Amino acid sequence: MEKYLLAEFIKLGLFSTVVVCSVCFILKKYMSGYLDQKSKNLATKEDVGAITHIVEKIKTENAHLLEDLKAEHAKKLEEIRKENQLFVSTLDKHLDLKIKIFTDAMESFTVLTNSLANLCKLSLTESEFTSVIEKEVKSISKVKIVGSVETCIATVEFMTAFNCASLELQKHRTPLIICIDRINYLEGKNKLEIFEREELEQLITSEQTDYINFTALCMEKYNEVANLTKRYVNSVREELGLKINFDELTSTEVESSKALKDSFESFLGGISKN
C-alpha cells in the first residue's frame, strides 16, 4: 500500500512538474512577445518627434529644390526666348537684304534692257553706254551671294544674252556712225568734187535704210533680252515664297510684246514710205 502511495505521489510530482514547466514556458513565450511589442511601441512613440522633424526637413529641402528648379527653368526659357527672337530678327534681316538685292537687280535688268533700245540713238557715245553697264553690273553681281541656284542661273543667262546682244548691235552701229560722220564731213565742205557728191548721195540713201534696219534690230534684241527676265522673276518669287500664276503672267507679257512690236513695225513702215 505504501509502495502504491509512493508511486502515485511520484507520478503526481512529475505531472505537476510537467504542468508547471509547460505553464512557465507558455508564460515566458507570451510575456516575451508582449514585452518585445511593448518595447517597440515605446520606441515608436519616442521616435515620432524625430521622424516628424526629418520628414518636415525633407519637405522643406524639396520645396527649396523645386523653387531652384523653377528658377533655373525660367532662366533657360528666357534664354531660349531671347535666342529665338535673335534668330527671327536675323532671318528677317536676311530676308530684307535678299529682297533689296533682288529688286535692285531687277531694276538693273530693266536699265540694261532699255540701253539696248537706246543704242539706236546714234548720239549716245560708247563711253556713256559702257558707264551704264559698269554701274548696273555692280547691283546684279550681288545676286550670286544670296540667290538660289535657279536665280543665279537666270541672272547669268540674262547677262550672257545682254552681252551678246550689245556686241552684235555695236557691230552694226559702228558702220552707221562712220557713215554719219562721213556725211557730216562732206556736207560741211564748201565745195564738193563730183565723186564726193555721188558718194554723199549714196551715203544718205544707204544711211536712211541702214538706220531703219538697225533700229528694228535694236528693238528685236530688246525684246529677246527682256523676255529672259521672266525666268529670273519666277525664280525670285519662288525663293521668297511669293506664288504667282506664271503661265498667266507669261501670256500677258507675250501679248504686250507682240502689240509693241506690231506698233513699232508699223511706225518704221511709215517712215520707210516717206
Number of other CB atoms surrounding residue 199 within 10 Å: 15
Average of per-residue pLDDT across 249-256: 61
- Residue 193: the pLDDT is 87
- Residue 256: the pLDDT is 59
| pLDDT, mean over the chain | 76
Residue 6: pLDDT band (50, 70, 90) is very low
241: left (phi over 0), alpha (psi -120 to 50) or beta: left
- Residue 48: the pLDDT is 58
Q: Which residue has the higher pLDDT, 63 or 111?
A: 111
- Residue 134: the pLDDT is 92
- Closest C-alpha to 97, from 159, 49, 142, 157: 142
pTM for the whole thing?
A: 0.61
Is the pLDDT assigned to residue 82 strictly greater than 50?
yes
Average of per-residue pLDDT across 251-269: 60
Contact between residue 207 and residue 179 where contact means Cβ atoms under 8 Å apart: yes
- Residue 4: the pLDDT is 45
Is the pLDDT assigned to residue 3 strictly greater than 50?
no
Q: Which residue has the higher pLDDT, 52 or 145?
A: 145
% the chain with pLDDT above 70: 55
pLDDT in tens, 32-70: 555 455 555 555 555 556 656 665 666 676 666 666 666
Residue 12: pLDDT band (50, 70, 90) is very low
Q: Please give the Cα distance from 22 to 28 (Å, whole number).
A: 10
Contact between residue 246 and residue 234 where contact means Cβ atoms under 8 Å apart: yes
Residue 189: pLDDT band (50, 70, 90) is confident
Cell of 190: 564748201
Average of per-residue pLDDT across 70-90: 57
Q: How far is CA 184 from CA 109, 120, 211, in A?
A: 35, 18, 16
